[in-house]
Amino acid sequence: MEPELVRDLMVAVGLGLLIGMQREWAEKSVAGIRTFALIALAGALCGLLSRDLNFAWLLAAGLLAVAWVLWIGNQARSAATANGSGVTTEVAALVVFLIGAAVMVGHAIVAVVTAGVVALLLHAKGRLHAFVDRLGEGDFRAIARLILIGMVILPLLPDENYGPYDVLNPFRIWLMVVLIVGISLAAYVARLLMGAGLGVILAGVLGGLISSTATTVSYARRARAGGDEAAGSSIVLMVASTIVFARVLFEIALVAPSILASVAPPLAAMMVFMTAICLAAFYRARSAFRASADEQPPSDLSAAVVFGLLYAGVLVGVSAVRENFGATAMYVVAALSGLTDMDAITLSSAQLMKTGALEEATGWRLILVGAMANLLFKLAVIALVAGRSLAGRMAVMFGVSLAGGALLLWLWPA
């Protein structure tokens, strides 16, 4: 027998055991740890035979046979207990059969990820049900709004550049609107599930990984509610702006790993400095976090659309300055590029440093200048959109961060 075949069979059985263990631990059901392992093995054998003997019908027949056996078992169990029950275990068993088959036809990674998702969903039953029970009409409206703008409108827009300087992309501009609404909803859910303290940290991390600019707009709108809201929002925005540097370092490692050792130290130093500001701010504001019980779902779509239009206007302005200044004013171009997006200046600088067209000592400084300009842009957005409480807090935190960045530019050896 081929070693790869044995490995795949063991993986399939192991995934069945994992999900079966969870089912047997959680509740007495129609299938337990042994049954799930056998179902996974049956799926693996059906997948193997369908692959090697070209018996495509065997998978469908096996799935139907498993479904029939589960139905008989569930009927007998219901009659014995005189109680109706859900079909979660039965559906999970059918998925496990397909997981076993997927391993054998060359999709082991998909099978492992699917098994992990199934196990997580089964284990989180209580929390998921409690969360759904807490949802109201406003929550469903917010979810429906996100589905409309993200899954209905966004795919219909052309992903092509138009307009002055060929930089207006309807798909990407509307994507910023979707991100703003999506981040607001994700932060709301995080605070409901995890409470105010952990919720704001998670929201900040996710916001920094997705788009710190969109996160800024979302939380600037929330901060209109008052001082308590401003305290939590300030932590989210500071964390998101700090995480940006982790994303920058990851992009450099991905595009130009050969230069990472020389450009990472100053950028990592900036991230550590801003992390210290985050910790100090969290310590000072922790007592002001509002309990999540009075949270209201995000509802303001118009502000996100207005920012989308502003974002488009900034893109045109940046491109105009770039064309007029050219390469003679690299730091001006870097600052303008970093206003709304750090990815462009990071990736372009990394590519130039990799090819030797740009010195590494200059390259990381361009990226840092872009990041500092991004902080200034977000501070301007906060001042325009949010109340005085959040604007004052962020002026202090971003101001200290900008001072630290300026010192790095000045004192770090060339």
| Whether residue 188 sits in one domain with residue 95 | no
- Among residues 99, 123, 147, which one ends one of the domains? 123
Q: Which of 347, 365, 342 is nearest to 240 (CA)?
A: 342
pTM higher than the cut 0.85: no
**Interatomic CA distance for residues 95 and 109, integer angstroms:** 15
| Whether residue 178 sits in one domain with residue 74 | no
| Whether residue 254 sits in one domain with residue 388 | yes
In the beta sheet, which residues pair with residue 168? 162
Task: State the pLDDT at residue 339.
Answer: 79
Task: State the pLDDT at residue 30.
Answer: 58
Task: State the pLDDT at residue 398.
Answer: 95
- Among residues 92, 123, 154, which one ends one of the domains? 123
| Whether residue 149 sits in one domain with residue 91 | no
| Whether residue 179 sits in one domain with residue 273 | yes
Task: State the pLDDT at residue 264.
Answer: 94
CA 99 to centroid of chain Cα atoms:
26
Number of domains in the chain: 2
Task: Please state, as a whole number, how many other Cβ atoms lie within 10 Å of the Cβ of residue 102.
Answer: 22
Task: Please state, as a whole number, how many other Cβ atoms lie within 10 Å of the Cβ of residue 381.
Answer: 19
In a domain? residue 129: no
Which tens digits make up the pLDDT trace of 258-309?
A: 999 999 999 999 999 999 999 998 887 665 554 434 455 655 577 667 767 7
- Among residues 123, 145, 174, which one ends one of the domains? 123
Regions of the chain with pLDDT less than 50: 227, 290-294, 327
Q: Which of 130, 98, 92, 93 is nearest to 111 (CA)?
A: 98
Task: State the pLDDT at residue 291.
Answer: 42
| Whether residue 99 sits in one domain with residue 45 | yes
Alpha carbon distances (Å) from 149 to 146, 182, 340 = 5, 10, 21
Q: Which of 119, 240, 247, 130 is nearest to 189 (CA)?
A: 130
| Whether residue 221 sits in one domain with residue 155 | yes
The two structure tokens encoding residue 388: 């005085």
Phi, psi of 162 (to 5 degrees): -135, 180
* Domain, as residue range, for 275: 137-411
| Cβ atoms of residues 66 and 94 within 8 Å | yes
In the beta sheet, which residues pair with residue 162? 168
